[in-house]
Amino acid sequence: MVNADEKLDCQGLSCPMPIIKLAKTMKKMKSGTVLEMQGTDPGSKEDVPKWCTKTGNAFLEAKEESGVYTYYIRKK
């Protein structure tokens, strides 16, 4: 399990809001810190890893439980 420094709740939001909130939150974080993001948009399964690749942040882990997707991302 990954320990997160910050948490972001995007449950109930649909594209593109989770990625917009993710980008805003990551800008405020320090390099090397980890964000735990939760969302319910199935599109986020593709969007979050692609965003990480595009921005150079590290996509650490993803899991799904009862329709809630949880992602762990380390800021570059």
Tally the domains of the chain.
1
Determine which one of 2, 13, 15, 60 is catalytic.
15
Whether 6 and 37 have beta carbons less than 8 Å apart is answered as no
In a domain, 30, yes or no: yes
In a domain, 1, yes or no: no
Euclidean distance between CA atoms 76 and 38, whole angstroms: 20
Measured between alpha carbons, how far is residue 54 from residues 5, 45, 50 in Å? Answer: 22, 15, 6
**H or E element that contains 47:** helix 44-55
Top-confidence residue, 56 or 15: 56
CATH of the domain at 27: 3.30.110.40
The pLDDT confidence band at residue 1, using thresholds 50, 70 and 90, is: confident
pLDDT tens per residue, range 5-47: 999 999 999 999 999 999 999 999 999 999 999 999 999 999 9
The pLDDT confidence band at residue 2, using thresholds 50, 70 and 90, is: confident
- Domain, as residue range, for 53: 6-74
Measured between alpha carbons, how far is residue 65 from residues 8, 31, 68 in Å? Answer: 16, 29, 5
The pLDDT confidence band at residue 4, using thresholds 50, 70 and 90, is: very high
Q: Is 15 a catalytic residue?
A: yes
